[in-house]
Amino acid sequence: MTRKVNSRELKIGMYVDSLDRPWVETDFLFQGFLIQSEDDLESLRRQTEFVFVDEEKCDMSSSSGSNPAVPASGQHAEKQMREVKDDIKKAYIVRSKIENSFSSILKDIGMGKAVYVGNVKNTIKEMVDSLINNPDAMLLLGQIEEVDAEAASHAVNCLIIALAFGHFMGLKCEELETLGLAALLHDVGETEIPKELLDPARIKTAGEEALVRRHTELGRNILQKIEGIPLSVIDIAYSHHEQVDGQGYPEGVTSEQISLFAKIIALVDTYDRLTSAISGKMLTCSEASHYLYIQREIKFDKNLTEKFIKCFGIYPIGSLVELAKGDVGVVASASEGSHLYPRLILVLDPYKHPYYPPRLINLAAFCEGENAADYVIKKMLPRNAYGFDYRAYIRREFGMVA
């Protein structure tokens, strides 16, 4: 039940349900939030004369100072959005570094020059640190980067997904660094395949198919000549297209003969291809997860596949979803304890007009109450839904210049 309250009479712990003006005319990013600081009060008094308070959602214990624990849903929206932006910018800097050092490796390989992997290894170390501190930002960044089918982009995406999954699996830092290097370099043999054949739609003959398959052997040969590449990474470049049922290539070995990391890279590689422009299909994250699930025990290791799907949740970070009320948002992070109610960056309103600025909303704050049905995720959307380039929009709104 809501009641009208003069903004001067507001107190910490009250839940602001609506304002005396449209949310878009204010700088509040949550549509509904718990007042939890003097800053919140000052912002409300500056921008409104009165608001409507939802008494059922109020938490007056926080105003007495007796309970310092603040529910995630009540944190101030502006501050939270600033934190999301800062985290993504930090991730952007590390990602740019790895893209640059990996691109120069590809260039050196193409020119037959001696290759130095020290920079790449150091940057992967930085990424492991960054990812352990904040996996959501790195994953979200991976999803909003410009869509292209370049080798560097796919490789860096694979690196991020592999590190997030490896971290979820409890791998140690050194293991994550090896897995990351393997994710980055697993398809390096494709640099010796004619570019047009890297688009699956353009492979027409068995001969062309066989040539593309040779990228595993070519990759192994390239990596064997580079100083400082661990043997396990070379093995992964050679065996990441093996299948647990023995129907893969190049050797057609079965599950017991495929290393754990090669099995992980097989999942990561397929997942990124299916959800990006490379496969030409651009599935939603849940469609891609469903494909992996169907192929468990055929192409992929059953246990690993199930863990992989669990790791990325029902609504993976960076996926685009539509709420029952019609708003479209990007999953920014999973709410603690519930993958069903993530935090979203709202990008389109119910009429499919962009929000300026984007709004941060925590669905967990709406999972109960009279409006709960409006805030249920109705469906997942492909990245290009409603003809809206949400990646360019977020990059622009977050001040990330390509």
Q: Would you tell me which residues interact with Fe ion (CB under 5 A)?
A: 187
Shortest spacing between CB 165 and Fe ion, in angstroms: 17
Residue with nearest beta carbon to Fe ion: 187
Shortest spacing between CB 158 and Fe ion, in angstroms: 10
Nearer CB in complex with Fe ion: 187/322: 187
- Cα separation, 264 vs 255, whole angstroms: 12
Shortest spacing between CB 53 and Fe ion, in angstroms: 57
- Paired with 309 in beta bridges are none
Nearer CB in complex with Fe ion: 95/154: 154
Shortest spacing between CB 153 and Fe ion, in angstroms: 15
Shortest spacing between CB 127 and Fe ion, in angstroms: 21
Please check whether residue 59 is in contact with residue 15, taking contact to mean a CB–CB distance below 8 angstroms.
yes
Q: Bin 246: left if φ > 0, else alpha if -120 < ψ < 50, else beta.
A: left
Nearer CB in complex with Fe ion: 198/285: 198
First to last CA, the chain: 47
Residue entry with tokens 């805030």: 375
Nearer CB in complex with Fe ion: 198/321: 198
Please check whether residue 269 is in contact with residue 239, taking contact to mean a CB–CB distance below 8 angstroms.
no
Residue 257: CA atoms inside 13 Å, Cβ hemisphere, count?
15
Please check whether residue 13 is in contact with residue 35, taking contact to mean a CB–CB distance below 8 angstroms.
yes
Nearer CB in complex with Fe ion: 220/395: 220
Nearer CB in complex with Fe ion: 165/398: 165
- Paired with 380 in beta bridges are 321
Nearer CB in complex with Fe ion: 308/366: 308
Shortest spacing between CB 176 and Fe ion, in angstroms: 21
Nearer CB in complex with Fe ion: 238/375: 238
Question: Other C-beta atoms within 10 Å of 29: how many?
Answer: 23
The DSSP secondary structure of 146-185, one letter per residue, reads PP---HHHHHHHHHHHHHHHHHHTT--HHHHHHHHHHHHH
In the chain, DSSP finds a helix count (H) and a strand count (E) of: 13, 9
Helix (H) or strand (E) segment spanning residue 322: strand 320-323
The DSSP secondary structure of 192-219, one letter per residue, reads GS-GGGGSGGG--SHHHHHHHHTHHHHH
Shortest spacing between CB 190 and Fe ion, in angstroms: 7
The DSSP secondary structure of 208-277, one letter per residue, reads HHHHHHTHHHHHHHHHHTSTT--HHHHHHHHHTT--TTS--SSS---GGGS-HHHHHHHHHHHHHHHHSG
Shortest spacing between CB 185 and Fe ion, in angstroms: 11
Instruction: Please choose, from the candidates 256, 185, 195, the residue with its C-alpha nearest in 3D space to the C-alpha of residue 224.
Output: 185
Shortest spacing between CB 125 and Fe ion, in angstroms: 25
Shortest spacing between CB 260 and Fe ion, in angstroms: 18
Q: Is 117 helix (H, G, I), strand (E, B) or coil?
A: coil
Nearer CB in complex with Fe ion: 17/187: 187
Q: What is the largest CA-CA distance in the chain?
A: 77
Nearer CB in complex with Fe ion: 23/291: 291
Instruction: Please choose, from the candidates 344, 322, 340, 321, the residue with its C-alpha nearest in 3D space to the C-alpha of residue 332.
Output: 344
